[in-house]
Structure 1
Amino acid sequence: MASKVSNFSDLIQRVTASCLLHPLAAGRHDPDEISDHRTGDESEDDHRYKTEDEEEDDEVEDGERDGFRVLDGARSERVIEMEMMMGQVFDAVSAMKRAYVSLQESHCPWDPDKMRVADVAVVAELRRLGVLRERFRRSVGRECGGRERRLGTAGVTLREVVAPYEAAVEELKKEVKVREAEVQNLTEKLKTATRLGGGGGGGGKKGRSHQSKRKVSCSQAQVAAVPVPEIFEATMSSVNEASKSFTSLLLSLMRSAHWDIGAAVRSIESATSTTAESAVGAHHARYALESYVNRKIFQGFDHETFYMDGSLSSLLHPDQFRRECFTQYRDMKAMDPIELLGILPTCHFGKFCSKKFLSIVHPKMEESLFGDLEQRRQVLAGNHPRSQFYGEFLGLAKAVWLLHLLAFSLDPPPSHFEASRGAEFHLQYMESVVRLSGGRGVVGQVVGFAVSPGFKLVNGSVIKARVYLVPRT
């Protein structure tokens, strides 16, 4: 026991001496220098300890090598995964491109069924790309780690997710605005129908008789083989109905855009009179607006092409020109103007629509009503927008174009006349747009402005000009 203690004390002394002779820098000295200062026993002990340390180091190095091998394997799997994901991305983009091409082809010629199928395919591929994007982001988040990285990625994802919803909200707001205008338009039509159908006694019978006569005329127009004045009368009734419908929609959009309707009416009246004072009440603003629309769209009616060119066919070959006009009338009567312009956007009727739309709808008006000039840009480019507003305008444009074709089909053509401001009211040639109580209602009143023109036909019948009456000043 005493010898063991002695050996243990000697061991402590040797270790202490080694530490004093070779402090912390000893690990950086050359092993040969250290061995010069040591005894034989010290060398043996150090060799024993060094061997144990080297074994530990070898184990660590082996572990590190194994770790690198695992890491290399993980990286290889990561590369394979990314390559597979990129392949899926390229496949999805190619499929979306094919679907989008099909969607474009379905527009011309117009094929609603093919369009719906192509639209579903495009949306499906977009969703597939979205899923791949989220997979990639989650994978990158797991690899990078770190709170800041995760927060940054989450912030970007949140912004990109919210952006489409914000755009959708804006589109919905525009759609709500259009729907409100449609509701107001239908309300105006309902009020008009109620007023026309609400008359009692003889007035109601007269109205029913007039409507039945109009139906007979329309039926004649469908089967007539030659142009007759009755067809012209029925077509003029269609023009007046289309004019009222388009004007009601335009007025509803103005109110939705918070226009000063009184100022707009005064501006319209000032274009036809030097009188600054407005003669129209606020509840009759639609008549002033209808007057403005009709004045623009009937301008050039007496010329065979509305002065869109210098053609003189009606003078050089009158019989042939009349036959061609009536043939065009019969061909076009049953056609949807949108479908016709989709096939022949730059035909004579298409040019007429473009010219009159740009004349009626001022750029500032369009920007105020719709927030942009997209419809105007399409019209200037030779196209025809597929909007609800432009579709309503095409209904009026088609009715006027058919009336124009009929006018040049008749021999001789109808005489076109308008009532001027301040003119005396003549019951034979005029009718008031505001309901009057018998014949006494016109006493002391004169024409405020013409709402729509009148025509005198070859058979002696007269299509009365519609006028707005005001008290004589």
Structure 2
Amino acid sequence: MANKVSNFSDLIQRVTASCLLHPLGSGRRFADDVTDTHSGEDDSDYEEHNKSEKYYDDDEEDEVSPAVIEQAKGDAYKTERQMEMVMLMSEVFETVSSMKKAYVSLQEAHCPWDPDKMRLSDMAVLAEMRKLGVLRERFRRSVGKVGGGGATEATKRTVAGLTLREVVAPYEAAMEKLKTEVKSKEAEIENLREKLKTATVLNGGGSSGRKSRSHPHHQSKKKVNYSSQLQGTNVLGVNLLPPFVTAVSPSPMPEVFESCISSVKEGSKSFTSLLLSLMKSAHWDIAATVRSIEASTTTTAGAPAAVRDSIVGPNHAKYALESYVNRKIFQGFDHETFYMDGSLSSLLNPNQFRTECFTQYRDMKAMDPIELLGILPTCQFGNFCSKKYLSIVHPKMEESLFGDLEQRRQVLAGNHPRTGFYGEFLVLAKAVWLLHLLAFSLDPPPTHFEGSRGAEFHPQYMESVVRFPGGRVAAGHVVGFPVSPGFKLGNGSVVKARVYVVPKSEL
């Protein structure tokens, strides 16, 4: 009997030690220990031990199972967290890889220049960056869950609170900035309204009834008022829309671009006529000048075109001279600053750049270029005028036409001479500058083209400066030289290029 009691105590000690050393152990380990303990005992002892084992198991199940279940839950949570983080990192790597591919495509779109491919690649890069932002927020939200059951509720709330503040802080800062801008705009609108009232009083609103309905400015004023109503502004350019309607501000339309082309055409003709009359007064050899211009437009190799007879007919020298002027002043038109600097604002911030261009167009349209350059002689428009004048009027030409180089010296010094000739040039320069601003405010910007020498005449893309009976170019005529470029707009409409056509046999 004493031996049985000793064996029973030994059994209790073994079971207790096994539970302490192996809290997650299965019933199999416990059964093995019991089997090993009783391998040499008789059946009666074994049955008695089994009863004790059953009794012990029931007690241990009541005492140990909560801890075992809690730890099992913790292990399952850790496994779930690991799988979640693995999936998250996999998505991060896939997104980064896609963004790299999109960025490479964006770089390839620069050379050769492909605006459509560039636009799509830029959208792809932005989409992948947004995905990364979403993954970052997912990671931040999951930080509060790190630690499983071991993390206290207070710690979770602290981590979640920090993440929430980090997310909300940028929006709060942006909101404060917008509130400040709204207050500034409201003050500006109030100031402009006061100016409008003053201007209305000075113009004498009651005197309009005494004006003749046939006054030459009456119809133009109507047009301005109508256009202003469409744009939400008055005749002084004051925005009468409330601040919250700024999102629907006027935008450039292809029709505005086409009307601006007419101003360029008129300015080009006027300046060319003045230049030609000055050349005749200075006894220039007009025929030799025309041949020189023709030679500069020839793209074929071999003997220069100057050794051949001129293709320009009588009284058509003005077209050759206009071709020379337009070629010089439109050079660099496809760049946002006519290559006066290396600016890339149209690529880095396209939406903002388009808005700024259209704003400059509206502000500058009614300005006198002489008065503007008198105040800001070295502004971007002033630099454009200086560069183009020096390109069109070379030193020998100016000295021959005016007897000195005084205008050139003033331009080189950063000034703008107040002469009739330079003033006529500024009219053309302003028209081209406004056209350039409009082109870069359209989305997509228009593409310009010109009819090259010897090209077949296409009436849907070209317009002949020489008039033909019936208004149609006779068969067998080709382009002798381009006069002014044409443009293809984003809506599919075409502004025809002006060309000088000649019979194909004369080339």
Please classify the TM superposition score into its range, dividing by the shorter chain length: 0.5 to 0.7
- String of CA shifts for 1:299-323, please: whole Å, max 9, x gaps: 0000000000000000000000000
Q: State the shift of 1:441 in Å.
A: 3.5
Q: Is the 8 A contact 1:447 1:467 kept in 2?
A: yes
Q: Is the 8 A contact 2:291 2:305 kept in 1?
A: no
Quote the residue 2:385 is aligned against.
353
| 1:290 to 2:322 alignment | yes
- String of CA shifts for 1:226-283, please: whole Å, max 9, x gaps: 1000000000010000000000000000000010000000111111114332110231
Task: Classify the secondary structure of the residue corresponding to 1:450.
Answer: strand
Structure 1 residues 283 and 218: CA distance shift in structure 2, 3 A: farther
Quote the residue 2:305 is aligned against.
275
1:423 to 443, 455, 471: 455
Q: Is the 8 A contact 2:386 2:412 kept in 1?
A: yes
Quote the residue 2:81 is aligned against.
none
**Structure-2 separation of matches of 1:318 and 1:419:** 30
- String of CA shifts for 1:146-181, please: whole Å, max 9, x gaps: xxxxxxxxxxxxxxxxxxxxxxxxxxxxxxxxxxxx
Structure 1 residues 301 and 440: CA distance shift in structure 2, 3 A: closer
| 1:299 to 2:331 alignment | yes
Task: Classify the secondary structure of the residue corresponding to 1:470.
Answer: strand
Q: State the shift of 1:219 in Å.
A: 7.0
Quote the residue 2:433 is aligned against.
401
Structure 1 residues 439 and 331: CA distance shift in structure 2, 3 A: closer
- String of CA shifts for 1:12-48, please: whole Å, max 9, x gaps: xxxxxxxxxxxxxxxxxxxxxxxxxxxxxxxxxxxxx
Quote the residue 1:266 is aligned against.
291
2:365 to 312, 327, 333: 333
**Structure-2 separation of matches of 1:329 and 1:459:** 21
- Aligned residue runs from structure 1 range 66-77, under 5 A: none
Q: Is the 8 A contact 1:246 1:392 kept in 2?
A: yes
**Structure-2 separation of matches of 1:358 and 1:218:** 39
Quote the residue 1:229 is aligned against.
254
Structure 1 residues 425 and 301: CA distance shift in structure 2, 3 A: same
| 1:240 to 2:265 alignment | yes
Runs of 4+ in 1 over 6 A off after TM superposition: 215-219
Q: Is the 8 A contact 1:218 1:231 kept in 2?
A: no
Structure 1 residues 351 and 219: CA distance shift in structure 2, 3 A: farther
Quote the residue 1:432 is aligned against.
464
1:342 to 364, 374, 377: 374
**Structure possessing the higher radius of gyration over alpha carbons:** 1
**Structure-2 separation of matches of 1:231 and 1:377:** 37
Q: Percent identity?
A: 79
Q: Is the 8 A contact 1:217 1:234 kept in 2?
A: no
**Structure-2 separation of matches of 1:221 and 1:468:** 39
Quote the residue 1:387 is aligned against.
419
- Aligned residue runs from structure 1 range 312-323, under 5 A: 312-323=344-355
**Structure-1 separation of matches of 2:354 and 2:470:** 41
| 1:251 to 2:276 alignment | yes
**Structure-1 separation of matches of 2:458 and 2:229:** 33
Q: Is the 8 A contact 2:464 2:473 kept in 1?
A: no
Amino acid at match of 2:261: M
Task: Classify the secondary structure of the residue corresponding to 1:281.
Answer: coil
**Structure-1 separation of matches of 2:493 and 2:224:** 14
**Structure-1 separation of matches of 2:331 and 2:322:** 14
Quote the residue 1:452 is aligned against.
484
TM-score normalised by structure 1 residue count? 0.53
- Which range moved further: 437-446 or 305-314? 437-446
Q: Structure with the greater relative contact order (CA < 8 A, sep ≥ 6): 1 or 2?
A: 1
Q: Is the 8 A contact 1:232 1:403 kept in 2?
A: yes
Structure 1 residues 263 and 381: CA distance shift in structure 2, 3 A: same
RMSD, aligned CA: 2.1
Structure 1 residues 229 and 374: CA distance shift in structure 2, 3 A: same
- Aligned residue runs from structure 1 range 112-151, under 5 A: none
**Structure-1 separation of matches of 2:252 and 2:296:** 36
Q: Is the 8 A contact 2:487 2:494 kept in 1?
A: yes
Q: Is the 8 A contact 1:247 1:286 kept in 2?
A: yes
Q: State the shift of 1:289 in Å.
A: 0.2
Q: Is the 8 A contact 1:419 1:450 kept in 2?
A: yes
Task: Classify the secondary structure of the residue corresponding to 2:502.
Answer: strand
**Structure-2 separation of matches of 1:395 and 1:257:** 23
**Structure-2 separation of matches of 1:357 and 1:333:** 21
Task: Classify the secondary structure of the residue corresponding to 1:441.
Answer: coil
Unmatched tracts of structure 2, length 5 or more: 1-218, 232-249, 299-303
**Structure-1 separation of matches of 2:328 and 2:226:** 30
Structure 1 residues 433 and 219: CA distance shift in structure 2, 3 A: farther
Task: Classify the secondary structure of the residue corresponding to 2:339.
Answer: coil
Quote the residue 1:131 is aligned against.
none
**Structure-2 separation of matches of 1:222 and 1:235:** 20
Amino acid at match of 1:335: M
Q: State the shift of 1:218 in Å.
A: 12
Structure 1 residues 255 and 233: CA distance shift in structure 2, 3 A: same
